[in-house]
Structure 1
C-alpha cells in the first residue's frame, strides 16, 4: 500500500518537473537572446566585428534542437524584446546624414608621372595631303604647258623685232606684248582678242601690223592662219560691198575652221579701218561677240586706224611738258569716245595709243631706211634729211607732224637717175 501510494506522488513530482523545466529553459533562452542582441548592438555602435562566442554557438545549437532558427528570433516580426533608446536613434540618424553628405573624393595626382593625351592620327589627314600634292602637281604642269604654248609662238623674238624696228613706241609695244602673251598662253578662250592701234599718221601703226603678219607667218610655216586686209585695196568700190562682205566672211570662217583643227590661233590684221564701209564693220562686229562657236572665240583681230589721231596730237602737245604724264590711261578715254562715234565694234577692243615721234626717232627711221637701200649711214646726211621734215616745237623738243611717213620718199630721191 505504501509502495502503491508513493507511486502517484512520484508521478506528480515528475509532472511538475516536466512542466517547470521548459519554462526555465525558455526564460534562459530569452535572457541569452537579450544579452546577444545587446552585444550585437554594442558591436554595431563601435564599428568593430568580432567572432561569435562559444555561448552564442551553444545558443544556436539549442535553438536548432528546440525547432526554432536564429533568424526567427532575430526577426522583428516575431520578437521585439528591446526597444532602441533615444541615444541609439540619434546616433543612427547622425550616421545616415553623414552617409548622405559624403561625396565622391577628388583624387589629385601625387608624385606620379603626368602624360599628355595621346593624339590619334587620322587617315583623312593623309588623304588631304595627297589631294594637295595632286593639285600642286597639276598647277605646275599647267604652268609648264602655258610656257610651252607661249614658246611655240616665239613672242620673245617678236618683242625684240618690234623694239628694233618700231621707234618711239615703247609703251605701245609693252601693252601689245602683254596682251599677246596672256591670250596665247592657252588655246581655249571665252572671247576673241581685239587690239585697236590708234594714233596720228606715220607713227608706226601700219609698220607694226606688217611685223606681226610676218612673224606669225614664219612661226606657223604657212600663210593659212594670217590675213592682212586693206580696206582700200580689197574693197575699193562701194558697189561691191556685198561681194566684199561675202568674201571676207568666207575667208574668216575658213581660217578659223582650219586653225581649230590644227589647234592654232589665226590672226586677222585690218588696216585703214577708218575707210572700211559700215556693212563690213557690222559683219566684223558679229565675230567679236561671245555667243558663238568655240573656233570663232580662238582668234586675234588687229584693227589699225587713224581715228582719234587728232585728239592724241592735241592732248600730247598740251601735256607733254607735264611731269605726271600718263599716256596709256588718259589717252584711252579720249580715243574711246572718238571710236564709239565711228562704230560700236570698238567697245570690246583693247585700245593701244601710238604717240608722236620726236626728231631723234625720225633720225632712226632715216638710218634704218638708208641701210635697207644700201646707202652709207652718214650722220650729217641723216641730220640733213631729218631737218627737211616739219615739226611741232614744244620748249626744247621737236615732234614730227607727219612722223616717218615721208622717210621712204626722201631716201628714194637719193638714188641717181639712170
Structure 2
C-alpha cells in the first residue's frame, strides 16, 4: 500500500441514471411549454403581447437555465428540440400577406365605353342664382318706380313749354330740366332743392318762373305752389317782422300739407335782390340739412338780377369765342357775385341767363301779338324789334333791355287802347 486512497469506481448503471434524470426533466419542461403555447398564448399582430406572453418569457428563462445545466452533461449533439414557435409562424404568415398585398396584379381597361365622372350640382348654387334674380327684379322695379314718379309731374310737357315760350335760353332750359328730373325721381331726399336763376333784366327769368308755377299748379294742385313777389308781399314800407311771420306760416303750412299727401311743394321767390337781409336769413333757415323730413322735400326757385351786370360784361367780352362753350366760367362769375350779397346762395344750383339777340326779340313780339289776337305781320314785327336798343358787336346785335318792353309796345298797337 503506497498511502493513496483508492478511487471508487462508478458503475455503468449509475452513470445511465445520472444522464436520464436531467433528460426527463428537460422533456417535461418542453411538453409544458408546448401545452402553454397551444392553450394560453395569444399573439397580438399589432406588435403588443398579452399577459400570458410574459409568463412564456419567464418559462423560457427557466428552461434556458435548466438547459444550461443539461449542457454541462455530455448530451448528444443530434438530439435537437428547436422547433419553430407559434409566434414565428404568425410573423412569417403576416410577412407573406404583406408581400401578397404589394404584388397585386395589373388590371387593364376593358373595351367598354368610357364616361366622364358625373358632376353633382350643388343646391347652394341654385339658391345663389335665385337670390341674384330677386335682386335684379328689385332693381328693375325701383327704376320703374322712379320713372313713374317723374311721369307724375309731366316734366316732358314742361320742357316743351319752356322751349316754345322762352327764347334764346337753351342752355338754361336744359340745366333746369336736368336738375328737376334728378330731384323729382324720388319723394324722399336729404336736402331741399334750391335753383337760382340769375341774369340781366328782360332775358326771361320771371317768365320762366311763371311757366314753372303754371305747370305745377296743374300737376300737384295750386295749394302746393307759392309765388312770392317781394315788392308785393313785403314792400319797403312794411314791417319786416310781420313779413317774416307770414312767410314762416306759409312755408310751414304748405310743407305739412304736402307731406301728408306725399307731394313736393314749390316756392318761387321773384325779385330776390329787393328782399331784406333779415327775411333772407329767415328763408335760409328752411334750406339747411338738419331739419325734419317734410322740410327736406321741397323746391325753392330764387329769381334775381344779381350778377346780371357781370353776365353782360363777360358775354360782350367773349362774344368772339362762342359763349355756349364756356358756361362754367360764367357760372363762377355769377356765384361769386351772389355770395357777396348773401350766404343763402351757397346751397343753390345757379343757372345763368345770357343776353338775347335781335332774332329772339322778334320772336317775343310775334308771340305777344298772337296772345293779344293781332295779325302777326312780319314787317310790323321787324319794325317793332328795330325800335329797341341793342349792343352791336361785329355783325350781331344783343338787346339791352331784352323782352322787357315787348308787352308795352304791343299794347300800343291794340285798337282799344
TM-score of the pair, normalised by structure 2 = 0.73
Give the conservation status (yes or no) of the 8 Å contact 1:190–1:290.
Answer: yes
2:175 maps to 1:188:
no
Q: Which residue number in structure 2 is paired with residue 285 of structure 1?
A: 284
Number of residue pairs matched?
Answer: 328
Over 3 Å counting, the alpha-carbon distance change for 1:152 and 1:111 in structure 2 is: same
Q: Which residue number in structure 1 is paired with residue 123 of structure 2?
A: 123
Give CA deviations for 1:96-132 in whole Å, capped at 9, x if unaligned: 9xx7xx7999988686654433322111111111111
Over 3 Å counting, the alpha-carbon distance change for 1:193 and 1:299 in structure 2 is: same
Distance 1:317 1:252 in 2: 40
Distance 1:264 1:173 in 2: 23
Q: Which residue number in structure 2 is paired with residue 15 of structure 1?
A: none
**Residue 339 of structure 1, CA deviation:** 0.7
Give the conservation status (yes or no) of the 8 Å contact 2:315–2:323.
Answer: no
SS in structure 2 of the partner of residue 376 of structure 1: coil
Over 3 Å counting, the alpha-carbon distance change for 1:212 and 1:108 in structure 2 is: farther
The within-5 A match list for 1:331-370 is: 331-370=330-369
SS in structure 2 of the partner of residue 224 of structure 1: helix
**Residue 239 of structure 1, CA deviation:** 5.1
Distance 1:322 1:343 in 2: 32
The within-5 A match list for 1:1-400 is: 79-80=81-82, 113-220=113-220, 222-237=221-236, 240-323=239-322, 325-400=324-399
Over 3 Å counting, the alpha-carbon distance change for 1:395 and 1:128 in structure 2 is: same
Give the conservation status (yes or no) of the 8 Å contact 1:241–1:277.
Answer: yes
SS in structure 2 of the partner of residue 227 of structure 1: strand
Distance 2:152 2:340 in 1: 39
Distance 1:371 1:239 in 2: 39
Give the conservation status (yes or no) of the 8 Å contact 1:229–1:270.
Answer: yes
In structure 1, the gaps of 5 or more residues are: 1-76, 83-91
Give the conservation status (yes or no) of the 8 Å contact 2:273–2:306.
Answer: yes
In structure 2, the gaps of 5 or more residues are: 1-78, 85-91
Over 3 Å counting, the alpha-carbon distance change for 1:103 and 1:283 in structure 2 is: farther
Over 3 Å counting, the alpha-carbon distance change for 1:78 and 1:366 in structure 2 is: farther
Give the conservation status (yes or no) of the 8 Å contact 2:159–2:173.
Answer: yes
Distance 1:384 1:356 in 2: 20
